[in-house]
Structure formats: structure tokens, C-alpha cells
């Protein structure tokens, strides 16, 4: 592996950093307090190519690599985890699923709209009683001539109410049987498809999380993604890339909390000197820096394998597991360094603290990542 970032990656990171400072940072707490999902920001990111980072230029995307993609998610998440989360979900889940498994007609129809930010995407796998137990999902799709009829509810869906199009995985076989799920593209406005309850969350409050409800929703067979019965297999592959996304999200949150802590420790004086001079504080910063560096290397390793088309389930799970746990630890220590001020909304670290926890849960909990890692190391 070459750990030296390319000039392109550095340029993309800088342009994203500039965008985040101008268009996101001034409104972070306003969006967080009101739980506003700022659709206009995603339209603007679409103009910069940030909504189709990995999509080839043929389909209207930026055609960049996973290295640039990670840099983008990190820079946005250093400012606001909510926007980073929504950007990651749009790119890696909905758009990524279509890019990986859509036929040529589907790609030409949907990817240009998603990649330019004209449309917002969602991805539906999780259900109220089947989070990690996806093989037992209750949302079903039944074939009816040249159409499929979908019934069921998906929950914890990023952009569940606002997305223009969703990739939905539905059961097309008996529960817990092999190859019992199929993926479908469902457009907003299709009769029988609507958004449900929007969640009131601890963190990531400006990223919309809501139900998607299907009530005798009829879609043509041309909207089926890939082969019948391949939905769960496709999802696992999509989640491998998605775990790099969440790892990058966690890394950005950790870096944001760390950088705020460095600045505060230099500026805050006690006993006539900066608190950074005290070993109790400096050792916290040393631990933060070390663990952030380790998380970043795990992410780069997964990116390297992904870009070379190699199997990276273990490496993606390692990156996601470690980076998300580091984000929580770093954000917690950041609050401690800020002391009483860290517990107020006048300073940024309480939001990093609240946002960080989602990274250990979304797209596979830390416990699920351990299962994936253990399975792979025992198989070796």
C-alpha cells in the first residue's frame, strides 16, 4: 500500500472542507435543534459532484475513487455528522446498489439524477423486528403478472420520507430460507408507497431517519434489481462498501472532536498556563491522536482492497468497528477536556459526542462487526 495521498485526493478534500465551512458550519446547531433536514445543501453538493462520487462520468458522476470518497465524508463529518451520514447513505447504499447491480437501462435512468443531486436516494433493509436478523424480514413482494406487489414496513431508513427513489429489499421466499429476498427500485409517488414516522433521535438529528411503508405497492418487474432471490447477497456486498462509509463518518467525527480539543486545550488557562501543559490533558490528546491514526490506516487498507477488486469483508468490518468505537471514545474525552463547557451546546463537542454513538449501531452494530471479523479469521 502507498499511504501518500494523491494530489487529486488533497484537492477534493480541500474543496469539500471549504464547502463545509461556508454552507454547513454556520447552520449546524440550528439544524440539530429543529431536526431540519436541509435538502438545499444536498442540491448544492450535487453541483460539486459530491452526490455521485463513485459514479462514472458516463452516468453523470464524478468518477472518483474510494480514497476521494473517504476524504469527502471525513471533511463533511468533521463539521456535521448528520450531513456526513446522509451523504454517505445516498452515495454508498442507494446509489451504490444501483451502480453495482442495476442493468444498463436502470443505470441510465436513475444514476444521473442521483449523482447530480437532482434526486435523493434511500435504501431499505431494516425492519422493526428484524434489524441484524434480516433473513426473517416481514416485508414481502409477490409476483402478479409483469408486476410485483410490495407490503410491509421498513424502519430506521435514512431519507425514508424525503427520498425521490429507494432501493428496497423484500422477502420473496419463505422466512430463513436460502435466497429468499429480492431487491427492487421504488420511486416516490408510486401508489402504495409512503413515508411513516420520523424518529426523534439522540444525535444525527439533521439526518432524516424515518419509516417507509408499502401497502399493496405495485411496481413493474423492470424495477427488479438483479436476479430473483439475490437481494440479501447483494445487500451484504453493498454493506461492505457501506462499512467503509460509516468508518469514514466515524473518523470525521473523531477528528472534529480531536481538533476542537487541541484548540481548546491551548486556549484554556488554569493555574496561569494552558491546560495542554498538564499531563492529564496531554495524555488524553496523545491517546486520541494515536487511535485516530490507527483507525485511518484500517480505512485506507479497506479502500485499497476495494479499489483492487479484492474481497474486503473482514477489513471493512475491522475499519467500521474500530473507527466507530474510537469516535465514541474520542468524543467522550473531548467533553471531559472541555469540562463544564463541553456539556453545553455553546461548544461543538457535545454534538460530536451525541453523533458518535450512531456509528457503533448503523449498518451493522459493533457486535455484528465482531461476528464478521471472527468468521473470516476462523475461516483462514
Positions marked catalytic: 363
DSSP string, 24-85: TGGGHHHHHHHT---HHHHHHHHHTTTTSTTS-GGGTS----HHHHHHHHHHHHHH-HHHHH
Beta strand 140-144 pairing with 147-158: antiparallel
DSSP string, 6-26: PHHHHHHHHHHHHHHHHHTGG
CA distance 150 to 160: 16
Nearest partner of 313 among 362, 268, 376, 361, judged by Cα: 376
Cell of 11: 484537492
141 - beta bridge partners? 150
Residue with cell 457501506: 242
**Residues 75, 252 contacting (CB under 8 angstroms):** yes
CA distance 265 to 274: 6
**Residue 60 region, left (φ>0) first, then alpha (ψ -120 to 50), else beta?**
left
CA distance 324 to 364: 11
CA distance 264 to 280: 14
Q: How many residues in the chain?
A: 380
CA distance 11 to 57: 18
CA distance 55 to 53: 6
CA distance 83 to 60: 22
List strand residue ranges (DSSP E) for the chain, in order.
Answer: 121-124, 140-144, 147-158, 165-171, 181-187, 193-198, 209-220, 224-225, 269-270, 273-274
Amino acid at each position: 500500500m502507498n499511504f501518500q495521498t494523491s494530489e487529486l485526493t488533497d484537492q477534493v478534500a480541500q474543496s469539500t472542507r471549504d464547502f463545509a465551512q461556508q454552507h454547513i458550519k454556520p447552520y449546524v446547531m440550528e439544524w440539530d435543534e429543529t431536526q431540519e433536514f436541509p435538502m438545499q445543501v444536498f442540491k448544492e453538493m450535487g453541483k460539486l459532484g459530491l452526490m455521485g462520487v463513485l459514479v462514472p462520468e458516463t452516468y453523470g458522476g464524478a468518477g472518483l475513487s474510494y480514497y476521494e470518497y473517504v476524504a469527502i465524508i471525513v471533511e463533511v463529518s468533521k463539521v456535521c455528522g448528520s450531513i456526513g451520514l446522509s451523504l454517505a447513505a445516498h452515495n454508498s447504499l442507494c446509489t451504490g446498489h444501483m451502480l453495482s447491480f442495476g442493468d444498463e437501462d436502470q443505470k441510465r435512468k436513475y444514476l444521473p439524477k442521483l449523482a447530480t443531486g437532482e434526486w435523493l436516494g434511500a435504501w431499505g433493509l431494516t425492519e422493526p423486528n428484524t434489524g441484524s436478523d434480516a433473513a426473517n424480514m416481514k416485508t414481502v413482494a409477490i409476483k402478479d403478472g409483469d408486476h410485483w406487489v410490495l407490503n410491509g414496513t421498513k424502519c430506521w431508513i435514512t431519507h425514508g420520507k424525503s427520498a425521490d427513489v429507494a432501493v428496497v429489499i423484500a422477502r420473496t421466499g419463505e422466512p430463513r430460507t436460502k435466497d429468499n429476498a429480492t431487491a427492487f427500485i421504488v420511486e416516490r409517488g408510486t401508489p402504495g408507497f409512503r413515508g411513516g414516522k420520523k424518529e426523534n433521535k439522540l444525535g444525527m438529528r439533521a439526518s432524516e431517519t424515518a419509516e417507509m411503508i408499502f401497502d399493496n405497492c405495485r411496481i413493474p418487474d423492470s424495477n427488479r434489481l438483479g436476479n430473483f432471490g439475490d437481494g440479501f447477497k447483494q445487500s451484504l456486498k453493498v454493506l461492505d462498501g457501506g462499512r467503509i462509509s460509516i468508518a469514514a463518518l466515524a473518523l470525521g467525527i473523531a477528528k472534529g472532536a480531536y481538533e476542537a480539543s487541541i484548540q481548546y486545550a491551548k486556549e484554556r488557562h488554569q493555574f496561569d498556563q494552558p491546560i495542554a501543559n498538564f499531563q492529564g490533558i496531554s495524555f488524553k490528546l496523545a491517546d486520541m491522536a494515536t487511535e485516530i491514526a490507527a483507525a485511518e490506516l484500517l480505512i485506507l487498507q479497506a479502500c485499497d482492497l476495494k479499489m483492487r477488486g479484492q474481497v474486503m469483508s473482514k477489513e471493512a468490518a475491522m475499519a467500521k468497528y474500530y473507527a466507530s468505537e474510537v469516535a465514541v471514545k474520542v468524543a467522550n474525552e473531548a467533553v471531559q477536556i472541555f469540562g463544564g463547557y463541553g456539556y453545553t451546546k455553546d461548544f461543538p463537542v457535545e454534538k460530536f459526542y451525541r453523533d458518535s454513538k450512531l456509528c457503533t449501531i448503523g449498518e451493522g452494530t459493533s457486535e455484528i462487526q465482531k461476528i464478521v471479523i471472527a468468521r473470516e479469521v476462523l475461516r483462514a
